[in-house]
């Protein structure tokens, strides 16, 4: 099984095209994932078209074409709850001059990502094992990132409590969502007021192959996050702000 390239689809949906080299790296990543998946259940998304849409296209759609991102700079990026490396790995392949931290609390997943980093020679990524609630308080991570990404980790206000502490003032957080409701937005607003952030853009997409609904919520950190956030391990989920 080989990944489709879908040059026209990239162009039509995101006004962007991958290079030959990037296509090659994605193909390599896909093959590595298929191989590991025979031993451990890393992802349910293994069909080539499914993988293309849900892992590649979706990861990139969240970060391409934003007029408030200084793309040329060597951005410091964190992917919180990266799992098998999404959205962080496909992004690291198209922005080799960005520095990515891939954070997950599951050692097994981080071990697998380390294998991918070696196999694909991705020298711009480092992995971090731990809970966002703990790592977000460490000096070497707190308020040091330009961009924070979070997909499929929890409710929006929980994601905000995980992401905001990592961002520099002026930094951007991206919440990858399916549906987006008024109730979620209002809960998120309540959380952001306490965390020092605000919503600057909500972007809606239909995915190009299956026409599923996707939303990307862009947050900007406007003031420093108070020291008490994130709260202790488990509390953000049990008692969302
Ligand atoms: N972002 C990936 C994986 C989503 S599954 C994707 O979209 O495909 C959620 C992942 O978040 C799991 O791998 C889980 O281990 C991790 N996770 C959940 N809560 C976390 C926390 N508090 N800190 C760090 N990682 C967390």
DSSP string, 15-82: S----HHHHHHHHHHHHHHHHHHTTS---S--SHHHHIIIIIIHHHHTTSS-TTS-TTS--EEEEET-
Query: Average pLDDT in the 126-154 region?
Result: 98
Write the residue with the smallest CA distance to atom 6 of ligand 1. Answer: 86
Closest CA to 161 of 125, 126, 137, 140: 137
User: Which residue out of 61, 85, 104 has the highest number of ligand 1 atoms within 8 Å of its CB and is therefore the one to mutate?
Assistant: 104
Instruction: Give the three-state DSSP class for 173.
Output: strand
Between the CA of 111 and the centroid of ligand 1 the distance, in Å, is 14
* pTM of structure: 0.98
Q: Is the CB of 131 under 6 A from ligand 1?
A: yes
Q: Is the CB of 75 under 6 A from ligand 1?
A: no
User: Domain of 155?
Assistant: 7-66+73-238
User: Which residue out of 105, 112, 131, 141 has the highest number of ligand 1 atoms within 8 Å of its CB and is therefore the one to mutate?
Assistant: 105
* pLDDT score recorded for residue 48: 96
Kindly state whether residue 197 falls inside one of the protein's structural domains. Answer: yes
Residue with the two structure tokens 């979070």: 150
Q: Is the CB of 109 under 6 A from ligand 1?
A: yes
In whole numbers, what is the pLDDT of the chain averaged over residues?
A: 97
76 pairs with which residues across the strands? 99
Does position 4 have pLDDT exceeding 90, yes or no? Answer: yes
Kindly state whether residue 29 falls inside one of the protein's structural domains. Answer: yes
Q: What is the pLDDT of residues 175-226, one digit of tens each?
A: 999 999 999 999 999 999 999 999 999 999 999 999 999 999 999 999 999 9
Q: What is the pLDDT of residues 98-120, one digit of tens each?
A: 999 999 999 999 999 999 999 99
Query: Average pLDDT in the 112-140 region?
Result: 98
Phi, psi for residue 92 in degrees, rounded to 5: -65, -30
Query: Average pLDDT in the 3-26 region?
Result: 96
Please calculate the CA angle 80-107-58 and round it to the nearest 5 degrees. 35
Query: Average pLDDT in the 88-100 region?
Result: 98
Q: Please say whether the beta carbons of 226 and 136 come within 8 A.
A: no
CA atoms lying within 13 Å on the CB side of residue 210: 11
Kindly state whether residue 214 falls inside one of the protein's structural domains. Answer: yes
Q: Is the CB of 220 under 6 A from ligand 1?
A: no
Query: Average pLDDT in the 48-66 region?
Result: 97
Kindly state whether residue 77 falls inside one of the protein's structural domains. Answer: yes
Q: Please say whether the beta carbons of 215 and 203 come within 8 A.
A: yes
Query: Average pLDDT in the 30-36 region?
Result: 96
Q: Is the CB of 54 under 6 A from ligand 1?
A: no
* pLDDT score recorded for residue 241: 96
Does position 16 have pLDDT exceeding 90, yes or no? Answer: yes
Closest CA to 180 of 190, 171, 188: 188
* pLDDT score recorded for residue 1: 87
* pLDDT score recorded for residue 69: 98
Between the CA of 152 and the centroid of ligand 1 the distance, in Å, is 7
Query: Average pLDDT in the 75-95 region?
Result: 98
Q: Is the CB of 82 under 6 A from ligand 1?
A: yes
Kindly state whether residue 1 falls inside one of the protein's structural domains. Answer: no
Between the CA of 12 and the centroid of ligand 1 the distance, in Å, is 31
Kindly state whether residue 101 falls inside one of the protein's structural domains. Answer: yes
Does position 93 have pLDDT exceeding 90, yes or no? Answer: yes
Q: Is the CB of 110 under 6 A from ligand 1?
A: no
* CATH number of the CATH domain containing 190: 3.40.50.150
Cα 131 to the center of its chain, rounded Å = 16
Q: How confident is the model at residue 94 (pLDDT cuts 50, 70, 90)?
A: very high
Total of domains in the chain: 1
Kindly state whether residue 229 falls inside one of the protein's structural domains. Answer: yes
């Amino acid at each position: 099984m080989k990944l489709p390239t879908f040059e026209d689809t990239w162009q039509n949906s995101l006004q962007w095209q991958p290079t030959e080299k990037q296509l090659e790296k994605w193909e390599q990543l896909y093959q590595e994932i298929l191989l590991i998946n025979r031993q451990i259940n890393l992802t349910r998304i293994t069909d080539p078209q499914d993988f293309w849409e849900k892992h590649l296209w979706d990861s990139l759609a969240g970060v391409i074409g934003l007029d408030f991102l200084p793309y040329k700079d060597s951005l410091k990026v964190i992917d919180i709850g990266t799992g098998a490396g999404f959205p962080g790995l496909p992004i690291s392949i198209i922005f080799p001059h960005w520095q990515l931290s891939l954070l997950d609390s599951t050692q097994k997943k981080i071990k697998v990502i380390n294998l991918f980093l070696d196999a694909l020679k991705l020298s711009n990524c480092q992995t971090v094992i731990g809970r966002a609630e703990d790592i977000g308080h460490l000096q070497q991570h707190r308020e040091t990132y330009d961009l924070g990404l979070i997909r499929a980790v929890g409710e929006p206000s929980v994601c905000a409590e995980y992401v905001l502490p990592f961002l520099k003032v002026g930094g951007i957080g991206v919440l990858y969502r399916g549906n987006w409701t008024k109730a979620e937005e209002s809960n998120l607003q309540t959380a952001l007021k306490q965390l020092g952030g605000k919503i600057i853009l909500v972007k809606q997409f239909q995915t190009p192959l299956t026409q599923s609904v996707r939303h990307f919520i862009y947050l900007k950190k406007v003031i420093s996050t108070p020291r008490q956030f994130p709260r202790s391990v488990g509390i953000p989920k049990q008692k969302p702000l």
